[in-house]
Amino acid sequence: MSNIVNTLLNDNLVNLKPYESARRLFAGGQDWLNANESPFANEYSIDSERFNRYPACQPEAVTAAYADYAGVDISELLVTRGADEGIELLIRTFCTPGEDNILICPPTYGMYAISAETCNVGVKKVPLKPDFALDTQAICAQNDVNLVFICAPNNPTGTTVDPADLEQILTHFADSALVVVDEAYIEFDKDNTRAGQLTRYPNLVILRTLSKAFALAGLRCGFTLANRPVIQALLKVIAPYPLAEPVAQIAEQALSVAGRTKVELQVETINRHKHWLQEQIAALPGFSITGDTRANFVLFHSIHNKALMAYLVEHGMLIRDQSKQHNLEGCLRATVGNEAQNQRLISLINDFLQQTGVSA
Ligand SMILES: *Cc1c(COP(=O)(O)O)cnc(C)c1O
């Protein structure tokens, strides 16, 4: 790095590496089952009439439609550039750099820690128990945290959380921390949303996204649901134009009655394919399903994980290695793709097993 950069670079950024997104890890490949994207690509139309104008900060057609979808009041919601921006806004709004901490429960989504580190906010870790349940006692023993991130269904374990655990945590931190429940995959486990509990818990925050079930990862559109005072605080920090006009137009179409119905059908299809994939993987010699399958991916353990991963990459089949995550040694995560992709994944694994002399 140049001298001027070395001199000026913030101390907390010196050892930081950019997030290894699925897109950054592998440029090639033909089957993308590594980022929990939807296999469906739906069509939208764009009206360029207003492109000469700055967009609204919180376009009402989008916020009203999502509030209706989520069953909350429009004042209890913020639309952001993906759920990732929601994570960063929460940290920038509620944590003082160099002083405050967030709490995460690994193995979990990587962006909570990365966002905190880029903001020079501390990260306290209370790992999930061996069965991936929250360690509620250990979480409640942490007294110096401003935000508690809980992902449900959790990425990458596909597990949800025990409602009693969550209630205990919300109550314990009632006067000291916001509890952020990341519901990025909630459409695949829709009976377990906590959106209905906002009225009961002033410190509850819920993250949502159009990137997964809504099949719009390329759009960058997410939502933060919370009580009004929390939303008002986030509005002090959010950029004046977080959502590009074409994004708002497409989000509005996705959230129409027809768009929502389409997503419901696609979720049913993905869930059906997920169970097929899960059964196929579970039946492979030396393979076992890890965690649960409440999202749109299957996490599994294989004694051959390293060699298998290399074999799949070599054949353009990209899944995600989770071995480096806490308690997930030997684990790989495969996003549920379309039927052909899921079948190709299973047949490639079978080919690999044959080559290595393990017969199925
Ligand atoms: C994919 C994902 C997100 C990011 O959503 P974007 O809206 O694409 O930024 C957030 N949380 C979890 C758990 C995810 O898996």
CA of 212, closest atom in ligand 1: 1
Structural domains present in the chain: 4-38+259-355 (3.90.1150.10), 53-256 (3.40.640.10)
The pLDDT of residue 18: 81
Q: What is the mean pLDDT of the chain?
A: 95
**Ligand 1 within 6 A of CB of 83:** yes
Q: Is the CB of 222 under 6 A from ligand 1?
A: yes
Distance in angstroms (rounded) separating the CA atoms of residues 329 and 326: 8
CA of 359 to the centre of ligand 1 (A): 38
Give 309-348 pLDDT, tens digit per residue. Answer: 999 999 999 999 999 999 999 999 999 999 999 999 999 9
- Characterize 298-337 residue by residue with b for buried, 16 or more Cβ atoms within 10 angstroms of its Cβ, and e for exposed: bbbbbebbeebbebbbebebbbbbbeebebbebbbbbbbb
Nearest CA-CA partner of 110 in 19, 205, 182, 209: 19
State yes or no: pLDDT of 200 exceeds 50: yes
Instruction: Give the pLDDT band of residue 21 (cuts 50, 70, 90).
Output: confident
**Which of left, alpha, beta for 36 (phi over 0: left; psi -120 to 50: alpha)?**
left
For the question of whether the overall pTM of this predicted structure is more than 0.85, the answer is: yes
**What φ, ψ does residue 86 adopt, rounded to 5°?**
-60, -45
Hey, what's the torsion of the CAs at 214, 218, 219, 220, to 10 degrees? 100
Residue 272, helix vs strand vs coil: helix
Lowest mean pLDDT among 94-98, 317-321, 347-351, 356-360: 356-360
Taking the CA of residue 85 as reference, the ligand 1 atom at the shortest distance is 9
The verdict on the CB of residue 82 being under 6 Å from ligand 1 is yes
Query: Residue 209 Cα, ligand 1 centroid: separation in angstroms?
Result: 7
Q: How far does residue 211's CA lie from ligand 1's centre (Å)?
A: 7
Distance 330 CA to ligand 1 centre (A): 24
Quick check: CB of 169 below 6 Å from ligand 1?
A: no
Contact yes or no for 179/142 (Cβ under 8 A): no
Query: What is the layout of strands, in order, in the sheet containing 222-226?
Result: 77-80, 222-226, 204-209, 178-182, 147-151, 101-104, 122-125
Q: Other CB atoms closer than 10 Å to residue 199's CB: what's the count?
A: 11
Q: Rounded to 5 degrees, what angle do the CA atoms 136, 186, 157 make?
A: 55
Pocket test for ligand 1, best of 20, 114, 155 (most atoms within 8 A of CB): 155
Contact (Cβ atoms closer than 8 angstroms) between residue 194 and residue 165: no
Residue 358, token pair as written in the block: 């393990």
pLDDT digits (tens, 9 = 90+) for 44-82: 999 999 999 999 999 999 999 999 999 999 999 999 999
Say if ligand 1 is within 6 A of residue 153 CB.
no
Mean pLDDT of the region 287-298: 98
176 in Cβ contact with 201 (< 8 Å):
no
Query: Which of the four pLDDT bands, split at 50, 70 and 90, describes residue 359?
Result: low
Amino acid letter for position 219: L
**188 C-beta closer than 6 A to ligand 1:** no
Question: Which ranges constitute the DSSP H helices of the chain?
Answer: 3-8, 22-25, 60-70, 82-94, 111-118, 136-140, 163-172, 228-237, 245-254, 257-282, 305-314, 339-355
**Which atom of ligand 1 is least distant from the CA of 86?**
9
Task: Answer for the pair 332, 321: CB distance below 8 angstroms, yes or no.
Answer: yes
Beta bridge partners of 325: none
Using one digit for the tens of pLDDT, what is the confidence trace for 97-153? 999 999 999 999 999 999 999 999 999 999 999 999 999 999 999 989 999 999 999
Residue 360 has pLDDT above 60, yes or no: no
pLDDT at residue 358, rounded to an integer: 64
Protein residue closest via CA to atom 2 of ligand 1? 184
| pLDDT over 90 percentage in the chain | 92
Q: Which of 17-26, 160-169, 174-183 has the lowest mean pLDDT?
A: 17-26
CA 178 → CA 10, 102, 149, 173, distances in Å? 27, 10, 9, 7
